[in-house]
Amino acid sequence: MKQYYNIFTLTLLLAFCTQSSFSQDTDKSWFFDAGFTAVDLFPVGEDAPQGEFLDEFINANDHWNFGYYAGVSRNLTNNLSLSLRGTVSEISKYGEFGELDESVLVDNLKYYGIDGMINYSFGKSKLRPFIAVGGGYTWLEGGSYNTFSVDPKALIGAGTVNGSVGLKYWVSDKFGINVQTTYKHSFKDYLPRHWNHNFGISYRLDTSKDVEDNTVEATKMSVKPSRWSFEIGLSAIDLYPVGEDAPQGEYFDEFFNLNDHWNLGFYVGATRNLTDNFSITAKGTVAEISKYGEFGELDESVLVDNLKYYGLDAMANYSFGKGKLQPFVAVGGGYTWLEEGPYNNNGSSSNSLVGAGTVNGSVGVKYWFNDRIGLNVQTTYKHSLKDYLPKHFNHNLGLVYNLGKSAEKEEEEDDNDRDKDGIPNDLDLCPDTFGIAEFGGCPDTDGDGVSDKDDLCPEVKGLIEFGGCPDSDGDGFPDNKDNCPEIKGTLNGCPPPVVEIPVVKPVTGQRKVYFNTDSTKLDLNAQAILDEIATSLTSDTDYNISIQGHADARGTDNYNINLSLARAKAIKSYLDSKNLGNSTISISAKGESQPVAPNTTADGRARNRRVEIIIDITAK
C-alpha cells in the first residue's frame, strides 16, 4: 500500500510542477532533452557489491549501465527552470567484490525512472553551469542483490531525493549540449542508491530574449567543413544481428535492441576533407563486451565477463549536399581486437586478445549546429576476415569539431582578396591586379616609383615629374610629348628649323641669324647664312655692315643687353675670320627692347632671339 502511496505522492508533485510551468508567461522558453544515460550503483557509500562514496566514480567499463533518457524543461526566469525527465536502462553491472571480481554481473535488470527537478543556472552566456534538486520514483527489476516480492523478477520501486550538477553549452539559439550527473538517494533499502549520468542534446522550442542576445544567431547556411575535423562520442557494439548461428542472430534482427544487445563504449576520430563531398577518416574505439547475443526467449541476453574490445578503422566517406544536414556513406577497413571468451576462441591462452582485419561499410548523417560544431550519427558493419573474431555492428553518436578555418571562410577570404596580393579588396586600389602595399595594392611594372594606374608610360622606366615617362634627350620634354625624343630641342622638343635663304645680289639689305635660348653659339644654320654673306661680298666694293643683337624677354634687362651684345660680337668675330678687309663692321645691343613677335609663346621668343645684319654699299 505504501508503494502506491509513494507513486501517488510523486504524481501530485509532478503535476504541480507541470501546472506551475504552464502558468508562466508565454514568452518563456520550453526545451526538450534526449540522449544517453549511465546508471552507476557502485560509488554510493554502501557495503559490497556496492562501494565507498565516489569510489571509482568514472569507471565506465566496470560499473556504468547505459540507457536512454528524454525530458522536457520550462524556463521560469533567466536562471530558474523546472524539468521532468524519464530514464530507461538495463542493469548488468551491479558493483564489485574487489580485485577478485571487479564487475559483478547481473541478468539485465530492467530500470525505469521518472524525476522532477528545480534547476538554477549561472550566467547568460553560451556556457551555463547549473545545479538542481528534486525527487522522483525509480523502478528496478528484482535481482540477486535487490529483492522485495515473492516474484524475483518483479519490478520494485521507491521514491528518491535527487541532487544534481551539470553544464549546458548552447552551440546555437536552438541546440545545446547537456552534461549532467545526479545522485538519487532511495527511501527504501530494496532500491539501491545510485548515480545517473546524462549526456544529450537540448532543443529549444522558442527563443527567449536573453538567448537571442547571448547565443549564436540562427541563419540558413551552407556548411563546408574545414580541412580537418575531430570527433568524440559514444560507441555501441552489437554482435547479434549479423547473420550467424546462436548466440548471434539473423541479419538486422532486433537491430535497435539496445537493452539486450548493445555494449557501450567510446570512440575518437579524425577526418581530413579532400573535397566538398569526399573525405577520409581514422577512428579508434574502446568498449567492453558483456552482451554477446541471445538464445531466444529462454535467454534474451547472453552475458559474458566484460571482454575487452579495441578497434582501429580507416574509412573513405562521401557526403551528400552542403546544408546543415549531410547524409553520407563510407567504405573502408580496419583491425579489431576482442578478448577471448566462451564464444570466440582461436586456441590461444584464456583471456588473451584475439585480433583480425575487417572490411567495413557504413551509413550516417551529420548535422551542423554551426560552422564549428556538429552531431554525428553513424552505423558501421564490420565483416571479420577470421572466424574467431565475430562479425558485428558499431554504432556511433558523437560531436564533431572543425579545426581551424572552414573551407567556406577560406573561400570568403579568397573572395576578399581576388588578386591574392595580401591586401583586402576594400583596401586594394587595384583589387583585380596583383600589386604591392606601397602603392595600395597596385603594381609598378617598370619599377620607376610610379604605380601603373598613375604611370603615363607604365612599361618604360621614367621620372616621377614626367608622370613615369622618360626624357631621353634631357631637353625637358618627356618622350611621350617630345616630337624629337633623341635630339635636344626647344620647339616641342625639337631644335629650331634651318631656314634656307636664297642668295640675292647685290647683297644689300637685312639678314637675320637666330640663337637658342640663353646661347651665343652659332649653329649650322647661322654659319651657312654668314658664309653666304661673306662669299657674296665683292672685293671692289666697300660695305658698311651693322650688326644688332637682340634677346627675348626672359631675364633682366641688363642681362639681356649683355646677351644680345655677346651675340653681335659672335657674328662680327665670324665675319672677321672671313677677311672682309673692305668692310666696316659695327655692332650694337638692343636687348629685349625691339621684339618682332610676342614673348608669351615659345615660337615668339625664338623669333626674338636674333641678330640682325644690315649691309649697305659705300662708294669708293
402 strand-pairing partners: 229
Residue limits of CATH 3.30.1330.60 in the chain: 509-618
Query: Alpha-carbon distance 611 to 89, whole Å?
Result: 122
What is the distance between the alpha carbons of residues 22 and 25, in angstroms, rounded to a whole number?
8
3-class DSSP state of 488:
coil
Res 359: pLDDT: 96
DSSP 3-state assignment of 231? strand
Residues whose CB falls within 8 Å of the CB of residue 270, separated by 6 or more in sequence, listed in order? 228, 229, 230, 231, 281, 282, 283
For the cut 50, the answer to whether the pLDDT of residue 17 exceeds it is no
C-alpha 394/C-alpha 375 separation (Å) is 17
Comparing 246-250, 347-351, 517-521, which segment has the lowest mean pLDDT? 347-351
* Cβ atoms 232, 268 nearer than 8 A: yes
Taking residues 436-464, report their average pLDDT.
Answer: 87
Residue 298 is predicted with a pLDDT of 65
Asked if residue 216 has pLDDT above 50, the reply is: no
Q: What is the model's pLDDT at position 244?
A: 86
| Greater pLDDT, 583 or 214 | 583
How much helix, strand and coil, in percent to the nearest 5, is found in the chain?
15, 45, 40
Sequence-separated (6 or more) residues with CB below 8 Å from residue 422: 437
Written as one string, the DSSP assignment of 97-126 is BTBT-SSEEEEEEEEEEEEEEEEEE--SSS
Query: Residue 39 — pLDDT band, cuts 50, 70, 90?
Result: very high
Query: DSSP string of 23-44?
Result: TS-TTS-EEEEEEEEEEE-SBS
Q: Could you tell me how far CA 605 lies from the centroid of its own chain?
A: 69
**Strand, coil or helix: 559:** helix
Supply the pLDDT for residue 336.
Answer: 96
Cα–Cα nearest to 549, from 513, 519, 588: 588
Residue 250 makes CB contacts below 8 A (sequence gap 6+) with 241, 243
Position 8 pLDDT exceeds 80? no
Nearest to 304 by CA among 390, 380, 241: 390
Residue 414 and residue 421 in contact, taking contact as beta carbons nearer than 8 Å: no
- Contact status, residue 460 vs residue 444, Cβ threshold 8 Å: no
Reduced to 3 states (helix: H, G, I; strand: E, B; else coil), residue 134 is strand
Instruction: Give Cα 420 to chain centroid, integer Å.
Output: 16
So what's the architecture of 228-409 in CATH?
A: Beta Barrel (2.40)
573-607 pLDDT tens trace: 888 888 776 567 888 888 888 888 888 888 888 88
- Top mean pLDDT of 11-15, 93-97, 284-288, 607-611 is at 284-288
Residue type, 213: D
pTM for the predicted model, two decimal places: 0.52
Cis peptide before 598 (omega within 30 of 0): no
What CATH topology corresponds to 2-214? Answer: Porin (2.40.160)
Residues 213 and 390: their CA atoms lie apart, in Å, by: 52
Cα angle at 291 between 288 and 294, to 5 degrees? 160
Q: First vs last Cα of the chain: how many Å apart? A: 169
CB of 549 closer than 8 Å to CB of 564:
yes
d(CA 544, CA 553): 29
What CATH topology corresponds to 509-618? 60s Ribosomal Protein L30; Chain: A; (3.30.1330)
- 136 in Cβ contact with 160 (< 8 Å): yes
Query: In terms of pLDDT, which residue wins out, 305 or 21?
Result: 305
Mean of pLDDT values over 328-348:
88
The closest of 25, 57, 27, 29 to 41, measured between CA atoms, is: 57
Are residues 464 and 450 in contact, defined by beta-carbon separation less than 8 angstroms?
yes
Where does the chain hold its CATH 2.40.160.20 domain(s)? 2-214, 228-409
